[in-house]
């Protein structure tokens, strides 16, 4: 029996096991790992692929991450912020096309008018999308960076029930290298804790292939996701953006392109094998590296896809990294094509559903017992529908 086969026979994985999985190179090993991740997914979640319409509503950012094309020091970006009407219209289009859930993503701002705006938009989307198909309106995930506990609570009370905040790397030294000094890993960790306390379904993730990042750092990222009991994961390959300080590494990153892509798929599989019942996104960055990247992510154990729903005229200005596919994927035709693709992989696309992570339900049951009618019992009913 090969070493990978031996690793895959287990249910609990050590750090060394994870390192072994992430080091796989041979096609045969990759196939075994993807099959094992698929089995865990079927046993612990389902064959469903959940959709989230992605609306990148503003690229204005006050942060200066050294890898990101939208960093505030990049003067070449044409900055925009959609109006409330435009965002609500995009959300409405999602609901009309069977996407039961959306992600509202933007650059990071903490000023009061931004907080008021986001709160207002969330409330309005909720109000306008309650229908026979979606009795509680669209599911709303926010991805607007580090905020105060009070503002996270305001968004939650307005109707957002999931939050994504990537830690980018759980390695303190690497985190410091890719961020300016005022951006701190500790403060992101604190935000993740606060989000969980408020009652959000919480997602995080890392970039894969960062200069200086080793396989053991990636294995530690997986253990970190497990230890903080995260509900959702979004990870993707690091792609060099020419208008950022980290572009100086582009030659070595380009040279490792295949390795970075492979390792991104292996990170999805490892996260599935170790964390089991979380939602894992097959991200746009995978698709930017390979036109079939998104399908490959699904094969390696992901169960969430985020079709682009940002209005077409703005997509080209939301370039976190270059080569981002700017497809129009909101319409019915695209959805049907995607459903067929998924069916050929033995998977079914969930329509008109929030698609909450099983992990959230298990976690909240564990910590709170069978309390009075609460958000989590609602979520459970929805899952069983």
**Which of 36, 99, 285, 361 lies at the binding interface for ligand 5AD (CB under 6 A)?**
285
Span 135-164, contacts to ligand 5AD by CB under 6 A = none
241 binds ligand 5AD (CB under 6 A): yes
Q: Judged by CB under 6 A, does residue 168 bind ligand 5AD?
A: yes
Which one, 168 or 221, has the nearer CB to ligand 5AD?
A: 168
Q: At what angle do helices 149-158 and 112-129 cross, to 10 degrees?
A: 20
Given the rule CB under 6 A, which of 24-32, 85-93, 147-155, 233-241 is the region that contacts ligand 5AD? 233-241
The nearest distance, CB 35 to ligand 5AD, in angstroms, is 28
Q: Are 327 and 54 in contact (CB under 8 A)?
A: no
Q: How far is the CB of 210 from ligand 5AD (least distance, A)?
A: 9
Binding string, 65-84, against ligand 5AD, x = CB under 6 A? --xx----------------
Q: How far apart are CA 12 and CA 362, in angstroms?
A: 18
Q: Is residue 195 within 8 Å of 225, Cβ to Cβ?
A: no
Residue 293 in the binding site for ligand 5AD (CB under 6 A): no
221 binds ligand 5AD per the rule CB under 6 A:
no
State which of residues 321, 338, 354, 360 lies at the interface with ligand 5AD (CB under 6 A).
321
What 3-state class would DSSP assign to 75? Answer: coil
Q: Which of 207, 218, 222, 267 binds ligand 5AD (CB under 6 A)?
A: 207
CB nearer ligand 5AD, residue 196 or residue 241: 241
Scanning 42-50, 81-89, 120-128, 232-240 for contacts with ligand 5AD by CB under 6 A, the matching segment is 232-240
* Distance, CA of 239 to CA of 289 (rounded, Å): 8
SS3 label, residue 203: strand
* DSSP labels, 168-199: B-S-HHHHHHHS-TTS-HHHHHHHHHHHHHHT
Q: Say how far apart CA 240 and CA 247 lie, in whole Å.
A: 6
What is the Cα–Cα distance from 130 to 125, expressed in whole angstroms? 9
Residue 166, interface with ligand 5AD (CB under 6 A)? yes
- Contact yes or no for 39/87 (Cβ under 8 A): no
* Residue 337: C-alpha distances to residues 310, 324, 340 (Å): 20, 20, 5
3-state secondary structure of 164: strand
Nearer to ligand 5AD, 74 or 201 (CB): 74
Stretch that binds ligand 5AD, among 26-34, 80-88, 235-243, 343-351 (CB under 6 A): 235-243
Cα separation of 286 and 275, whole Å? 21
239 binds ligand 5AD (CB under 6 A): yes
Binding site for ligand 5AD (CB under 6 A): 67-68, 166, 168, 207, 236, 238-239, 241, 285, 320-321
């Amino acid at each position: 029996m090969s070493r990978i086969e031996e690793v895959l026979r287990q249910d609990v994985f050590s750090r060394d096991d994870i390192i072994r999985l992430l080091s796989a190179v041979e096609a045969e090993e990759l196939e075994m790992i993807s099959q094992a991740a698929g089995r865990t997914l079927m046993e612990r979640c389902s064959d469903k692929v959940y959709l989230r319409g992605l609306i990148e509503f503003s690229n204005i950012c006050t942060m200066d991450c050294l890898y990101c094309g939208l960093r505030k020091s990049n003067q070449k970006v044409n900055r925009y912020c959609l109006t409330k009407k435009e965002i609500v219209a995009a959300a409405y289009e999602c609901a009309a096309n069977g996407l039961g859930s959306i992600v509202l993503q933007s650059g990071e701002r903490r000023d009061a008018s931004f907080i008021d705006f986001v709160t207002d938009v969330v409330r309005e989307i909720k109000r306008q999308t309650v229908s026979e198909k979606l009795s509680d309106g669209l599911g709303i995930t926010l991805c607007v960076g580090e905020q105060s506990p009070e503002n996270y609570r305001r968004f939650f009370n307005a109707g957002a029930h999931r939050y994504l905040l990537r830690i980018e790397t759980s390695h303190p030294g690497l985190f410091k290298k890719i961020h300016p000094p005022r951006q701190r890993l500790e403060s992101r960790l604190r935000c993740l804790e606060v989000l969980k306390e408020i009652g959000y379904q919480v997602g995080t993730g890392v970039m894969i292939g960062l200069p200086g990042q080793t396989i053991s750092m990636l294995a530690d990222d997986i253990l970190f996701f497990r230890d903080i009991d995260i509900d959702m994961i979004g990870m993707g390959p690091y792609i060099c953006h020419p208008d950022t300080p980290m572009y100086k590494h582009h030659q070595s990153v380009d040279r490792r392109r295949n390795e970075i892509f492979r390792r991104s798929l292996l990170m999805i599989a490892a996260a599935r094998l170790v964390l089991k019942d979380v939602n894992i996104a097959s991200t746009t960055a995978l698709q930017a590296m390979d036109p079939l990247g998104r399908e490959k992510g699904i094969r390696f154990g992901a169960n969430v896809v985020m079709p682009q729903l940002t209005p077409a005229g703005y997509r080209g200005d939301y370039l976190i990294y270059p080569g981002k596919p700017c497809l129009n994927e909101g319409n019915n035709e695209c959805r049907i094509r995607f459903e067929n693709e998924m069916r050929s992989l033995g998977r079914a696309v969930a329509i008109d559903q929030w698609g909450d992570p099983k992990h959230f339900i298990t976690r909240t049951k564990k910590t709170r017992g069978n309390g009075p009618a609460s958000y989590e019992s609602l979520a459970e009913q929805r899952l069983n529908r």
